[in-house]
Structure 1
Amino acid sequence: MSTSSQIRTVRTRFAPSPTGYLHLGGARTALYSWAFARHHGGQFILRIEDTDVERSTPEAVQAIMDGMHWLNLDYDEGPFFQMQRMDRYKAMIAKLLDQGDAYLCYCSTAELEQMREQQRQQGLRIRYDGRWRPEAGKALPTPPEGVNPVVRFKNPASGAVQWDDLVKGPISINNEELDDLIIARADGTPTYNFCVVVDDWEMQITHVIRGDDHINNTPRQINILRAIGGEQPVYGHLPMILGPDGEKLSKRHGAVSVIQYDELGFLPEAMINYLARLGWSHGDDELFSREQLVQWFDSSSLSKSAAQFDPEKLSWVNAHHMKQTDRALLANETQKRLNAIGLDSNAGPALAAVLDLVIERAATLVQLRDEAALFYREPSVNADELRAMLDEPTRLAMNEFAQGLNSLDWTVDNLSTHMKTVLKAHNLKMPKLAMPLRLMLTGITQTPSIDKVMALMGQSIVMQRIEAGLAL
């Protein structure tokens, strides 16, 4: 890292193309750029790279913004849109043309395809052959009439581009391997690689953290940056995220919009924790807060190896963060999901108390909702299943248990003691009474401790449902 980069205030950016949703890979890039800026007391900039007019959509822009908002990745400047900065790019292209670092190329599509075919036949690397590149003593063809030229950057013909990558270490690429990149299309619109360079320079970006699919772009961008007189930022290229099977992450693995993880019941704090560990570490720490991430985030701990997405570990991390979440906030998130399926927590016991009981049984907010729903809906009891459980000894014990509830002081301890007393009197094991009770009260046989369930449901509802169950 250069001395000037150390002195300058750290400024990072997240620069997605609005051609789709914010997926896990993009969200991780945004997170690392954000955490690096926050750790160093710098600024984090959001830039929308929308020069691909045919594929960019307002819906994709909104999806990116929604994802950033859900993850609470606040930015200090932006969002900047490249399509609103066309005048700046065109002015810089004119500057490069004037100083001889760019030139007009009149090759038609047919000529370029013929060029590539000849190179394929000769076993050569496919690249632009420089036929319109100005050189000392070289006679250029006469520009054809009626053809709008593209503008190509005159890449240095010799030497190498070198940078010390934050993630991968020193990288060097010979200029001979790079051809002359198109920086403006025939219709005059500048291309991605050129706009990125101008933006990073004018927005004073000091550190560029992005996926390693951009490594091939970096030497080209560094050469353009030098030509326009800009200061080179520090680059860091992150390995990709793989699916559980080691293949490229796809929709079947979970490569969906981060917003969909909200719908699946994951907390943003859990997603931040999990994404951070997909390529970065702080010792053996697996579980940490957003504040700890900012405090610890150091680029020296970024992994050179591809990370592997593990849905089970994400659920484990989420379960931890749910337990750490303020109960009022957790109740609010659960109530929204209960409302979505037509249930109202006001029609039953206090939701916070219910969550205390069922929290250990859930890894997502959706599972938490389903566990809590038992207390706010009428059970659908399978009569045949219940009758099979209520053999004569069990039915007698259940009747005695129900009668004793009338005068019981309604506490967990008293309910537990009463149940044990009835079981002992009838020489029965706990499941003989607990299983049909669960079915009568909730409609299912897998619930938290039945004495705690009854204590929360309340005396009148419990007695009413037991009476209904015995009548089946």
Structure 2
Amino acid sequence: MSPTVRFAPSPTGYIHIGNLRTALLNWLFAQSEGGTFILRFDDTDTLRSRAEYAESILEDLAWIGIVPDAVHRQSERLSAYDAAMASLKAKGLLYPCYETSDELDRQRKRLMARGLPPVYARTALTLGDAERAALEAEGRTPHWRFLLPNFAGDPQKPVRTEVTWDDLVRGPQAVDLASLSDPVLVREDGSYLYTPCSVVDDAEMAVTHIIRGDDHVTNTGVQIALFEALGHQAPAFGHHNLLTTLDGEGLSKRSGALSLRSLRADGIEPMAVASLATLVGLSGSIEAVESLEALGERVKLSDISASASKFDPAEVERLNAELVHGFDYAAVADRLAAMDVPGEQAEAFWLAVRANCARVGDAAAWRDVVFGALPAPAVFAEEDHGFLDTAFDLLPPEPWSRDTWKEWTGAMKAATGRKGKALFMPLRLALTGLEHGPELADLLPLIGRERAMARRPAD
């Protein structure tokens, strides 16, 4: 059976390179196995979820090359969650609790002061009907907890109960349910938390593999128990390491740290972002990969490091330059046309300047150097003026080719005796206004004789 995976972001901000890591690991896994990739928006938080963020996530994924096979929104599936919670209540596995946040906080602190784990004591299970009615008469509205299957007969006496799975990334894993509090599934206002919605959706959408960040490892024990309580077999799980900044800080959609939208606006290529998001923390070198297909050949879930991976944002710049330097003309033709690079010379122009472009957009500056007027005349040493007069007098007639530069400089060397930097630097300054840049053998035919003569320094 081919796998079904999902990427389930909350549309509460722009996704960043850390979010993309999860999306890509799922996408590449599905593609390698001929499977299905579901995009599911965790948008039940109506106060923070926004439609424009959901649209931006779709746009950002498409920019990378990820096109979902299906798109779902949890806000449209509330009836499914209602039915699942009703089923748990009927089985006695979802029970009402009336403690306030302050009361729960005090309970945790008392337990910790005694050296005990701050696990909820299930005091709500001891309430009788009259006691619950009295609390509700006070105006208290219950939140609802899932009764974990970690006891033999008496829920007040939990026993060690291990939930185990063979993690696709981390290998054999175990979580002791007796070490956990019964999780809240439904808030006081009736809204659902992440866990029940995720489990119901994964079951009903036939998700076979859940690949996500390792901050969810402990949640997995609870979710496997919830799958089974709802009568479903749990999927396979894989927990990859998280990405952090060089300072060890986590990434956040709300902070905008390395958001895909900002990287795209900054002229970064999608495969530079995809390469870094995927390869950091894997065995082997981090290098620019030209396609998602090629990237998928590099990825093996079991090769992912178990510890968090720090990465340097400057790596994006390095990978981007690697890609740009290797782009053929077809990869950039549309963008060069938008820069008004003359079509008949566009391919030769790109091949001449690409090694000097960290971004494709950098070609616009070289377009001005080659086809426009120089912004200001260069300042030359006194001894260079006579040399340049001789040089421009010796400028060959057209047609020009790449060999023209060698012919021209050879004639100047014979006429003036100059060589090396003393020969080449004044010519580069006169022709481009810059001390560095692409090979002049490639630029000279593009500049052409008329523009070259117009750049002859005045006496």
State the TM-score, normalizing by the size of structure 2.
0.88
The within-5 A match list for 1:206-225 is 206-225=208-227
- Residue 379 (structure 1) aligns with: 374
Tell me by how many angstroms 1:94 deviates. Answer: 0.6
Contact 1:378 1:442 in 2 (8 A): no
1:9 aligns with 2:5: no
1:115 aligns with 2:107: yes
1:446 aligns with 2:428: no
The within-5 A match list for 1:401-440 is 401-405=391-395, 407-440=397-430
The within-5 A match list for 1:24-39 is 24-39=17-32
Tell me by how many angstroms 1:216 deviates. Answer: 2.2
Distance between the aligned counterparts of 2:292 and 2:105, measured in 1? 51
- Compare 351-360 and 30-39 and name the one that shifted more: 351-360
- Residue 81 (structure 1) aligns with: 73
- Residue 183 (structure 1) aligns with: 185
Q: 2:346 aligns with which of 351, 355, 369?
A: 351
Unaligned runs of 5+ in 1: 1-7, 339-343
Distance between the aligned counterparts of 2:89 and 2:430, measured in 1? 82
- Residue 72 (structure 1) aligns with: 65
Tell me which amino acid in the other structure corresponds to 2:458: L
Tell me which amino acid in the other structure corresponds to 1:64: I
Q: 1:321 aligns with which of 320, 323, 330?
A: 323
After superposition, the C-alpha distances for 1:262-281 in whole angstroms (9 at most, x for unaligned) are 23332222332332212334
Sort the Cα spacing of 1:361 and 1:250 in 2 relative to 1 into closer, same or farther, 3 A.
farther
Distance between the aligned counterparts of 2:429 and 2:56, measured in 1? 43
Tell me which amino acid in the other structure corresponds to 2:121: D
Sort the Cα spacing of 1:301 and 1:437 in 2 relative to 1 into closer, same or farther, 3 A.
same
Sort the Cα spacing of 1:66 and 1:461 in 2 relative to 1 into closer, same or farther, 3 A.
same
Distance between the aligned counterparts of 1:272 and 1:367, measured in 2? 21
Q: 1:94 aligns with which of 78, 86, 91?
A: 86
- Compare 58-67 and 360-369 and name the one that shifted more: 360-369
1:58 aligns with 2:46: no
Q: Kindly, what percent of the aligned residue pairs are identical?
A: 33
Tell me which amino acid in the other structure corresponds to 1:91: A
After superposition, the C-alpha distances for 1:132-156 in whole angstroms (9 at most, x for unaligned) are 1269xx8983332132211111112
Contact 2:394 2:412 in 1 (8 A): no
- Residue 155 (structure 2) aligns with: none
- Residue 162 (structure 2) aligns with: 160
Sort the Cα spacing of 1:34 and 1:41 in 2 relative to 1 into closer, same or farther, 3 A.
same
Distance between the aligned counterparts of 1:331 and 1:160, measured in 2? 59
Tell me which amino acid in the other structure corresponds to 2:355: E
Distance between the aligned counterparts of 2:182 and 2:56, measured in 1? 35
After superposition, the C-alpha distances for 1:178-229 in whole angstroms (9 at most, x for unaligned) are 1111111112111111111111111111111111111121111111111001
Tell me which amino acid in the other structure corresponds to 1:380: P
Contact 2:14 2:256 in 1 (8 A): no
Tell me which amino acid in the other structure corresponds to 1:454: L
Contact 2:394 2:411 in 1 (8 A): no
After superposition, the C-alpha distances for 1:68-95 in whole angstroms (9 at most, x for unaligned) are 01101111111x1111111110111011
Distance between the aligned counterparts of 2:444 and 2:217, measured in 1? 61
Sort the Cα spacing of 1:443 and 1:38 in 2 relative to 1 into closer, same or farther, 3 A.
same
- Residue 194 (structure 1) aligns with: 196
Tell me by how many angstroms 1:167 deviates. Answer: 1.0
Contact 1:134 1:140 in 2 (8 A): no
Distance between the aligned counterparts of 1:314 and 1:108, measured in 2? 47
Unaligned runs of 5+ in 2: 151-158
Tell me by how many angstroms 1:335 deviates. Answer: 4.7
Distance between the aligned counterparts of 1:68 and 1:215, measured in 2? 25
Q: 2:121 aligns with which of 121, 124, 129?
A: 129
Sort the Cα spacing of 1:457 and 1:256 in 2 relative to 1 into closer, same or farther, 3 A.
same
Sort the Cα spacing of 1:377 and 1:322 in 2 relative to 1 into closer, same or farther, 3 A.
same
CA-based RMSD of the aligned residues comes to 2.7
- Residue 154 (structure 2) aligns with: none
Distance between the aligned counterparts of 1:98 and 1:51, measured in 2? 24
SS at match of 2:95: strand
Tell me by how many angstroms 1:20 deviates. Answer: 1.6
Tell me by how many angstroms 1:108 deviates. Answer: 2.9
SS at match of 1:129: coil
- Residue 272 (structure 1) aligns with: 274
Distance between the aligned counterparts of 1:255 and 1:49, measured in 2? 21
Sort the Cα spacing of 1:240 and 1:443 in 2 relative to 1 into closer, same or farther, 3 A.
same
Sort the Cα spacing of 1:222 and 1:250 in 2 relative to 1 into closer, same or farther, 3 A.
closer
SS at match of 1:210: strand
Distance between the aligned counterparts of 1:128 and 1:381, measured in 2? 74
Distance between the aligned counterparts of 1:245 and 1:108, measured in 2? 37
Distance between the aligned counterparts of 2:171 and 2:207, measured in 1? 20
